[in-house]
Amino acid sequence: MNTSIEHIVGRRIWDSRGRPTVEVEVELASGARGRGVAPAGASRGSNEAIDLRDGGLELGGYGVRSALANVNGPIASALRGMDAMQQAQVDAALIELDGTSNKARMGGNATIATSLAVLHAAAAAAGEPLWRYLAGGAPVRLPLPEIQIFGGGAHAGRRVDIQDFLVMPLGAQSFDEALFMVAEVYHAAGDLMAARGSRMGVADEGGWWPDFGSNEEALEVLAQAIHKAGYRNDEVAISLDIAASEFGRNGRYKLALESREFGTEEWLELLLGWVRRYPIISVEDPVAEDDADGMRAFTQAVGRSVQVIGDDFLVTDAARVATAAALGQCNAVLIKPNQAGTVTETRRTMEVARELGWGAVVSARSGETEDVAIVHLAIGWNTGQLKVGSFSRSERMAKWNEALRIEEQLGSGAHYAGWQALPVRSTP
């Protein structure tokens, strides 16, 4: 079968916030096709791949004409005739064509959509679903889901400072049961908000719109929702995405909701107090991306009792993961393909995390589409964890539902990762 790349086309489609994004379709000489889509984040690490936008007044500056011109011009020319089954070579060509450290020339949105499209086309040529093609016969697990209940930060008009209040169904015996448990907690939280007379609605990623007087109040209500749904702390635990770079810089952290400001030491005391009082099993970006000492201090303080994830701090970069591990910073990495800009770079980051004994969490972005590629990456690469957003809005549910279908395909061989996917000693 001839698996050389014959045709590449980029097109504008629309994401969950009504903003344009890049979709790329690749056709091979054999007729096999694949599509890749670039998501977009609201809170972004300064070192991640550049999301190339047009600027100006049209579409609020979020236009993607320049990125699409790169796909349909230099990228298509450079990749035409290459073998889609050689993903590393294709991605190396994209990296060389761009020639920058952060995909600023071609645009990370152009390169990741192209890279994913080539991957999908290769799987189609092999006659396999993407997850199975990626696994290459190796064992896989259904991932432990990390699902937002309350949205905050940049995802909810900064109504509260903390970006995500999430749950992780540690006690489930299958992915299907895991989603059932989260559904119970999600709706229990909605009932609690309604009983409080809170304004109802959902944030960018589908979580309940926050209506709290303090950041800790959201934690209190989330803990109540878990118990109202009938679960113990070792069955459903709390995960936080602090996204501290959004309100912290130069060792100072400002909580706008509470009109409070902290130095790093005081800020860590606040977070560690939450860890002691609530069933928190995972904390993402507890400090700002420029606070290396604070990240080391937090990681050392929680030891192996809490997963400490680097997102803006590590930006899906294998070299940054290796450096952080050597310095005692974090014990897990968030895996966002569009932060890296190609599939190969994304996979290498996951592999380095695995070699270090770290956790790896494949993650969506706040601006998403119906694309389900990250589910296949999480399962095919056997990362053990998946973070998609909340338990509402179709661009989120499409991904959770895809994992259910894959669990069914695996049949009696399906294995749910559960809390064992975390780099911690035990459940709360």
Whether 164 is in a domain gets the answer: yes
In this structure, the answer to whether residues 179 and 79 fall within a common structural domain is no
In this structure, the answer to whether residues 187 and 240 fall within a common structural domain is yes
Check residue 200 and give its pLDDT.
72
CB 166 within 8 A of CB 389: no
DSSP state of 59: G
Whether 427 is in a domain gets the answer: no
User: For the chain, first and last CA: distance in Å?
Assistant: 52
In this structure, the answer to whether residues 97 and 187 fall within a common structural domain is no
Whether 132 is in a domain gets the answer: no
Check residue 154 and give its pLDDT.
66
Range of the domain at 239: 144-421
pTM for the full model? 0.96
In this structure, the answer to whether residues 180 and 227 fall within a common structural domain is yes
Q: How far apart are the C-alpha atoms of 114 and 36, rounded to whole Å? A: 6
Angle, alpha carbons 188-190-192 (nearest 5°): 70
In this structure, the answer to whether residues 75 and 181 fall within a common structural domain is no
Identify the CATH number of the domain in which residue 181 sits: 3.20.20.120
User: Per the structure, how many domains does the chain have?
Assistant: 2
In this structure, the answer to whether residues 121 and 178 fall within a common structural domain is no
**Which residue ranges of the chain lie beneath pLDDT 70?**
43, 154-157
Q: How far apart are the C-alpha atoms of 334 and 285, rounded to whole Å? A: 10
Check residue 156 and give its pLDDT.
55
In this structure, the answer to whether residues 23 and 123 fall within a common structural domain is yes
Q: Which residues are catalytic?
A: 205, 336
Check residue 388 and give its pLDDT.
96
Identify the CATH number of the domain in which residue 111 sits: 3.30.390.10
In this structure, the answer to whether residues 348 and 225 fall within a common structural domain is yes
Check residue 95 and give its pLDDT.
98
Biggest alpha carbon–alpha carbon distance for the chain: 64
Check residue 384 and give its pLDDT.
98
